[in-house]
Each structure stands twice: as C-alpha cells, then as structure tokens.
Amino acid sequence: MRLTTARFEQMTRRDRHSLMTGLLFISPWIIGFLAFTVFPLFYSFYISLTRYDLIRDPVFIGFANYTELFFADPQFWKVVYNTFFYVSLSVPLSLGFSFLIANLLNTNIVGRSFFRAVMYIPAIVPAICTAMVWLFLLNIQYGAVNGILQSFGLPAIPFLSNPELTKPSLIMVSIWATGNAVVVFLAGLQDVPRSLYEAAVVDGANGWQQFRHVTIPMSTPVILYNLVVGFIGAFQEFTSAYLIMGNNGGPLNSALLFSPFLYMNAFQFLRMGKASALAWILFVIVVIGTIVFFRTSARWVYYGGEK
C-alpha cells in the first residue's frame, strides 16, 4: 500500500490526469462489475449462511444449509450422481462428435456450405424450442422416433419414462446441439498449416496418420477451449433437463440435475439459503474442474509458438 501511494505521488501532473481520465472512462464498467458481479457474489455467500424465504428477513444459521445438504438430504447425492454422470458422458461425447463433424466439413465435399449451416442451426434455435421438439420426438405414445420404430415392427422405447434411459436421452440431446463447438473447431482447423500435411505425405503418412499426428496435436488448444466451455455448460444445464424431464427430474428423480434442483429449492420451496449453498457448491466444483484442466493441459496441449 505504501509503495502504491509513493508511486502515485511520484507521478507527474499529466500522468495523474491521464490516470483519472482513464478511470473516468471505465467507471461505468467498474460500477457495473461491482454492483452486478462482486456484490451479488458475496451476498449470495451470506445468504447461504442464513434461512431466508424472500418474505421474512434472513436468519443467520451458519453452515447449517451445507450440513443439511451433505449429511441430511439424500436427494442431494442423487442429484450429484446424476450431474456427474451427465457431465462425464455428454462432454467427451459432444467433444468427439463435434470434432469429427468439423473435420468432415473441412474437406472438399459437395454442398459444404449448406452442411455447415445445417450443423450450426441447433446453436441458434432457442433452447425451449429444442426441448419441446425433442419432447415430441421421444414421447412413447406419439413420438416420431417410436413411430418409426413401430412402423418396422420394433417395440417402442420409453426414453422419458424408464429411469435407466432418462439420462442417456438428455445426453443424446446435448450431443445434437453442438453447433458452437463445430464452428470453433472449423476455425481451428483452418489455421493448421498445409505444409505439415504436405510434409507428412512426403514421409509416407496415410490419412489416419495425418489425422493422428498433425490434425489432433495442432487442434489441442481448440479442444481445450471447447472442453472447458462444455464442462462448465454441462454443469449448468437447465433448460433441456427441466422442460423434457419436468421439475422432478423424470421418474424416481433419475434425471434431476444440479441446476433444476437449485431452481426447485429457490423458487418452489422458497429456500433461498439452501439454494445459495447449492450455487456455491456448484461454483467450487466448476472452479476446481477448470483448474485441473488448465494444470494438466501442459501435458497434452501444443501451442505453435512453443519449442
């Protein structure tokens, strides 16, 4: 603090004027950041230590909400299992599917621009429309998927009523909506130098060897980006899970994820303290997971400027 004060005193009048002018120009962002990010963050942590129902004043109860979640709420561990199951399968499957599609769309195929636009459509369609369409497609009575199966004499599949199929159904929906990841992968593939492929061909590498030793290593920064974004988004998944499976997460809460469970506690049961505790638990999980990805990325991510 003393060093900062001394440095400020050593600044010339012009430097001080430039500093104050710069702070004045960015003050709207600073005020907005403090008012809409920093304050809600710390206030939500305070609310997580209280019993609060939006009607009466918050009552401080310490870490009772966290204790209840970890030791007295069996539904919480069911939600944690469902969420980790969903994330551990949907993220790598979506990543692999979008990377494969991006490589296919990066080749000289007929109608490439059309197929690129088609793959991006799920990313621009509102999530509620996507959920309602899949709700219709997977319905066991009038769904299009089961209608096609029954037309071939096959039995109907209870996608939304069988507890063993609810989470795979949500994962299937998440894999379908990978338009953003495909576009990012396409941009990354465009930056892979053609000279590397030419050198690989000269060395006798076939298509698979070029893909394994050139395409994948040069795409690892983009893979890391999509992995982190997909990881965070999967933990925050709400719209599809809530609309397709309902507010109870399907039969036996088999597809009740973290965000819908948080919403239920906050706006159905009016347990804002418990909901805030859930939000902070989710925040910690996401931060830890993101740190692990970045700490381990040095082992498998290659950047062009590195030796």
- Does the predicted model carry a pTM greater than 0.85? yes
* Residue type at position 185: F
List per-residue pLDDT tens for the chain, 307 residues long: 554 555 656 677 778 888 889 889 999 999 999 999 999 999 999 999 999 998 899 999 999 999 999 999 989 999 999 999 999 999 999 999 999 999 999 888 888 888 888 888 888 888 888 888 998 899 888 889 999 998 999 899 999 999 999 999 999 999 988 889 999 999 999 888 889 899 999 989 898 999 999 999 999 999 999 999 999 999 999 998 999 998 888 899 999 999 999 999 999 999 999 999 999 999 999 999 999 999 999 899 988 665 5
Indicate the CATH number for domain 65-299: 1.10.3720.10
Q: Domain limits of the chain?
A: 2-47, 65-299
Phi, psi of 51 (to 5 degrees): -105, 115
